[in-house]
């Protein structure tokens, strides 16, 4: 039997955001490989083998999945959100590049998913409607100096910015440092979206001004979207949060 490997994006949580193509890839797999909490989100199927692992062993997980595929298994590597955004697709191809040359002959495919920044943006309007970028604040795989340099460049270019992995118990200070950099450049009234657990039962979406945002308002399940200089608020009735949008036309305000 010829093995294959598909890297599947599960989306941010709501099963309605799982694409039909991703569902089909999960259904056809003989083996599912992934971070434990993500595997739980995949539907149970008789005879399908599951191989959970810890969150910080991406390369080991990728190599194991490739070994299974090389032995003839139909493998699905599950990933939250979109597998190409700070997730497992890059880890798999890194393992292919540095691993067994035979892995390059495997049928490897990527099934995209809804990434957290798009799900969060949709909840409040269109904060990423103009030019934007995404930056991970995690320094587990790159030095903080690189994170800082990229954030400064994005601020200088006036992008709306989606911040992934803003804070955790092991990294308690990075978000505060990032917000300090943002406040050197952006207006205190700049809209900031804090989106926690988008698409899951404990979802919480809040919109604050930059001056009101504190690191304690975020955790490892939170994504932040920091507005550009052109990002606007449309206030609504009392008790309903504002719409947030960034016009496609730069610097034009009606």
Using CB atoms within 10 Å of the CB of residue 149, give its burial: 0 to 12 exposed, 13 to 18 middle, 19+ buried. Answer: exposed
Question: What is the structure's pLDDT at 212?
Answer: 97
Report the share of the chain in percent with pLDDT over 90.
85
* pLDDT at position 137: 95
> What does the pLDDT look like over 26-65, one tens digit per residue?
999 999 999 999 999 998 899 999 999 887 789 999 999 9
Per-residue pLDDT tens over the stretch 135-182: 999 988 899 999 999 999 999 999 999 999 999 888 889 999 999 999
Mean pLDDT computed over 102-113? 96
Q: Is the pLDDT of residue 209 over 90?
A: yes
pLDDT value for 238: 78
Residue 190 has pLDDT above 80, yes or no: yes
Residue 252 has pLDDT above 70, yes or no: no
pLDDT bin (cut points 50, 70, 90) of residue 1 is low
H-only helix segments in the chain: 20-28, 36-41, 58-70, 88-98, 116-124, 144-156, 174-183
111: pLDDT strictly greater than 90? yes
Domains in the chain with CATH codes:
4-114 (3.40.1010.10), 117-245 (3.30.950.10)
- pLDDT over 60 at 68, yes or no: yes
Q: Which two tokens stand for residue 48?
A: 């399908």
pLDDT for residue 251 = 61
The pLDDT value recorded for residue 253 is: 55
Q: Where are the beta strands (DSSP E) in the chain?
A: 4-9, 31-35, 49-53, 74-79, 107-111, 125-126, 132-136, 160-164, 191-196, 204-209, 222-226, 232-234, 243-245
Q: Over the chain, what is the mean pLDDT?
A: 94
């Amino acid at each position: 039997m010829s093995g294959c490997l598909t890297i599947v994006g599960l989306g941010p949580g709501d099963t309605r955001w799982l694409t039909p193509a991703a569902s089909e890839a999960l259904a056809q797999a003989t083996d599912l490989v992934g971070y434990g909490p993500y595997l739980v989100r995949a539907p149970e199927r008789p005879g399908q083998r599951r191989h959970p692992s810890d969150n910080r062993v991406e390369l080991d997980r990728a190599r194991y999945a490739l070994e299974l595929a090389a032995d003839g298994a139909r493998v699905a590597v599950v990933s939250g959100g979109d597998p190409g955004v700070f997730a497992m697709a890059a880890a798999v191809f890194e393992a292919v590049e540095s691993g067994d040359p035979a892995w390059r002959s495997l049928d490897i495919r990527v099934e995209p998913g809804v990434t957290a920044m798009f799900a969060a943006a949709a909840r409040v309007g269109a904060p990423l409607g103009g030019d934007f970028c995404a930056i991970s604040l995690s320094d587990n795989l790159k030095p903080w100096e690189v994170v800082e340099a990229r954030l400064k460049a994005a601020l200088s270019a006036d992008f709306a910015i989606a911040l992934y992995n803003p804070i955790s118990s092991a990294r308690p200070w990075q978000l505060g440092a990032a917000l300090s950099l943002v406040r050197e450049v952006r207006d205190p009234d700049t809209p900031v979206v804090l989106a926690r657990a988008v698409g899951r039962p404990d979802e919480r979406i809040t919109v604050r001004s930059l001056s009101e945002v504190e690191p304690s308002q975020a955790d490892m399940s939170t994504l932040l979207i920091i507005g550009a200089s052109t990002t606007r608020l449309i206030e609504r009735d009392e008790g309903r949060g504002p719409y947030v949008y960034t016009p496609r036309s730069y610097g034009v305000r009606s």
